[in-house]
Each structure stands twice: as C-alpha cells, then as structure tokens.
Amino acid sequence: MARKVIWSYEATDDLDALAEYIARDSSFYAAAFIQQILDASRPLNEFAERGRIVPELDEPAIRELLIRDYRLIYSVEQFRVVILAFVHGARDLKALWEKENRG
C-alpha cells in the first residue's frame, strides 16, 4: 500500500540547518547531500518498514534509515509516513526527543 511521505516542520528545520552548515564550505556538496536525503526518503511511500526500529525509543512504528553519519527518523502510520527528524548519529536522541518534544 502506498503511503504519503510528509516532512514535519522539525525535520524540515533539521534539513535546512544541515544545508546551511554544509553550504558554508560548499553549496554544491550541500545540495548534493540534501538531494541524497530526499532520494532516500521517497521509497518510504512503498517500503516504510524497511528502516530499523529506533533502539532508543523501542516503538515499532518509529523507524530510521541511516544516511552517512545521520539518522532519518520517521513514523509509519496507516496512510502516511511522517519524517520526524534528521539528526547526526552522535547526538543523544533521547535527550533531543525530550528537549524538543518530538514524536
């Protein structure tokens, strides 16, 4: 079943912040990495369960794809997939989730 892939405001902000950071050195690499992220998120409409369950959250509906050193975290719902966050793998996800009230 095809689901609609939606980016939350928080995840969009994460992507914008990353693009700005990378663009300080290279707008080309910033654009290329953002495109890679968007390309990785598109198949989630058909294959939402392909990502692993986020270990820190232990919730079967919250999954993630690993893209380079980053985690694309999303929620699988009946008719849609909601991208919740795009965070560096070294960040403390539980602290971020609590601090920013994500999920």
Q: What is the pLDDT of residues 25-83, one digit of tens each?
A: 999 999 999 999 999 999 999 999 999 999 988 899 999 999 999 999 999 999 999 99
* pLDDT band (50, 70, 90) for residue 99: confident
30: how many CB neighbours lie within 10 A of its CB? 17
Q: Could you identify the residue written with the tokens 């692993």?
A: 52
* Token pair belonging to 92: 């403390």
The confidence band for 21, taking pLDDT boundaries of 50, 70 and 90, is very high
Prediction pTM value: 0.91
User: What burial letters (b/e) apply to 50-74, b meaning 16+ CB within 10 Å?
Assistant: ebeebeebeeeebbbbebeebbbbb
Does residue 5 carry a pLDDT above 70? yes
Name the CATH code of domain 4-100 (choices 3.40.225.10, 3.30.2310.20, 3.30.530.20, 3.20.20.60).
Answer: 3.30.2310.20
pLDDT of amino acid 103: 58
pLDDT at position 31 is 96
Domain boundaries, the chain: 4-100
Contacts (Cβ under 8 Å, ≥6 apart) of 70: 18, 37, 86, 87, 88, 89
